[in-house]
Amino acid sequence: DQQVKQNSPSLSVQEGRISILNCDYTNSMFDYFLWYKKYPAEGPTFLISISSIKDKNEDGRFTVFLNKSAKHLSLHIVPSQPGDSAVYFCAASESSGSARQLTFGSGTQLTVLP
Amino acid sequence: DTGVSQNPRHKITKRGQNVTFRCDPISEHNRLYWYRQTLGQGPEFLTYFQNEAQLEKSRLLSDRFSAERPKGSFSTLEIQRTEQGDSAMYLCASSFLNLERDRGRDGYTFGSGTRLTVV
């Protein structure tokens, strides 16, 4: 049973346009959400996070939106650049969990076309 | 400090052999995690250490798997009697004790992983 789902395995966007990556979760105990970016042959790198007490967090070109009632979050990249082409993973964790383990989605391959 | 280091980067082994991977975390991080990633999936939690204590293990970690973190520094993950289903990328990550302290600034720091192929 996948607790974090990324239903779009891939997304192509033209350079300069907006990229929107989506993520859904089922576990209502999740209260902290993160996005990671992964290039081939490298480990995931942290991109941006959001606590469940917020509905938006912005960092430069990256904005994460959280809709708790819908159990949905999205990552917006504006403007998209070719260097943003990578696999993006959504992840979630529970504050009550002692391990702070992250539950990841299966990822979305973003391709930004020049 | 150049981040989380994992060795080897690649390992090809025959079914039934034992393999051991090493992870060197960021020196000031006292939490260390092991994750496994198979093709087309996101990383899955295996186990974590706080200092030298192994505090949680996933049900994915069968009795053929063992992890250690002697002296709370580097960690090793050993897989005994490897099976083809063990083929995956094994990722190590480290973090500070309290993730809240780093919220909004940082998540885990992952290594580049060890890719295991069991033939």
- pLDDT (tens digit per residue) in B8-56: 999 999 999 999 999 999 988 888 999 999 988 999 999 999 888 888 8
Q: How many Å apart are CA B67 and CA B61, to the nearest integer? A: 10
Give me chain A's average pLDDT, please: 93
Name which of A101, A103, A106, A108 to mutate to probe chain B: the one with the most chain B Cβ atoms within 10 A of its Cβ: A101
The H or E element spanning position B92 is strand B88-95
Q: Is B99 in a helix, a strand, or coil? A: helix
pLDDT above 90 covers a percentage of chain B that reads: 64
**pLDDT tens per residue across span B43-84:** 999 999 988 888 888 888 889 999 999 888 899 999 999 999
Q: How many Å apart are CA B80 and CA B44, to the nearest integer? A: 20
Compare CB distances from A100 to B40, B99, B110 and report the shortest one's residue: B99
Among A16-20, A27-31, B74-78, B81-85, which stretch is predicted with the lowest mean pLDDT?
A27-31
Contact A49 B45 (CB under 8 A): no
Compare CB distances from A41 to B4, B109, B112 and report the shortest one's residue: B112
Q: How many Å apart are CA A114 and CA A16, to the nearest integer? A: 9
